[in-house]
Amino acid sequence: MSAYAGTNWNDVEAAAVALTGNFRRFTNFAYFGDKDASWAIVYTHNRDSGLLDQSNAAAIAKALARFPDDVVEICHSHWAVGYVDGFELRVYATGGAITPAFATYCELQARLDDYPVLDEDDYSEREREALYENVCQGLRMSPFYFSADEADAAAEGVIRWLWNHDPGAIDNRDDQGGYPNDDELAKALEALGYSWED
């Protein structure tokens, strides 16, 4: 989600020059913070972000948590997506050296240029949780009308059946997790012995 997609993150010095004081160049942006031009603002995700951006944002937050004096978590309002989350990062320390926080951020961005996932385990867990929630929601809706408790009780079995018999039904869609349609859910429920019409 970097606004500096063309940046060579392996060249930390050049990235520092490009990002230092960047918030002073943002258009349609009002900044009421107290950071000077040795800082930068970077965003990681927004209200509408998919699972991948959410996962990568969590990995970035975890890596930057080691530098509390040089990193401030932020959440800014945005007219199009409600809000954007990210960080104020100190780029240059007193004396002009690049901070370890900024160097770490650059390292993470360089990794993302090579491969889109920072933490495979976290991303997979988010996919699993989203699939479970999507299946529960599907079971609570027409034509099934499961109660919340019934949907929770049935969801794992439905997912397991689909995994074994119709794995395409639980593929991650639009980076929002798997979302089986009514026909796919009905097929799984019937195979598992559920009768939702009663």
Q: Are residues 16 and 113 in the same domain?
A: yes
Q: 1-5, 24-28, 89-93: which range is least confident on average?
A: 1-5
Across the beta sheet with 82-90, the strand order is 39-46, 82-90, 71-78
Q: For position 1, what pLDDT does the model report?
A: 53
Q: For position 27, what pLDDT does the model report?
A: 73
Q: In the chain, how many domains are there?
A: 2
Q: Are residues 176 and 109 in the same domain?
A: no
Q: Are residues 113 and 126 in the same domain?
A: no
Structure confidence by residue, pLDDT tens digits, 7-37:
899 999 999 999 998 888 877 677 777 788 8
Q: For position 198, what pLDDT does the model report?
A: 47
Which of 118, 150, 182 is the endpoint of a domain?
118
Q: 30-34, 68-72, 117-121: which range is least confident on average?
A: 30-34
Q: Is the pLDDT of residue 183 over 90?
A: yes
Q: What is the mean pLDDT of residues 76-93?
A: 88
Residues 6+ apart with CB under 8 A from 185: 135, 138, 139, 144, 158
Side chain identity, residue 198: D
pLDDT band at 81 (very low <50, low <70, confident <90, very high): confident
Q: Is the pLDDT of residue 111 over 90?
A: yes
pLDDT band at 79 (very low <50, low <70, confident <90, very high): confident
Residue 52 lies in a domain: yes
Q: When comparing pLDDT for 113 and 1, which is higher?
A: 113
Structure confidence by residue, pLDDT tens digits, 140-152:
997 888 999 999 9
Q: Is the pLDDT of residue 2 over 60?
A: no
Diameter of the chain measured on Cα atoms: 74
Domain, as residue range, for 101: 12-118
Q: Are residues 22 and 34 in the same domain?
A: yes
Q: Are residues 110 and 145 in the same domain?
A: no
Q: CA 57, CA 28: separation in Å to the nearest integer?
A: 24
Residue 55 lies in a domain: yes
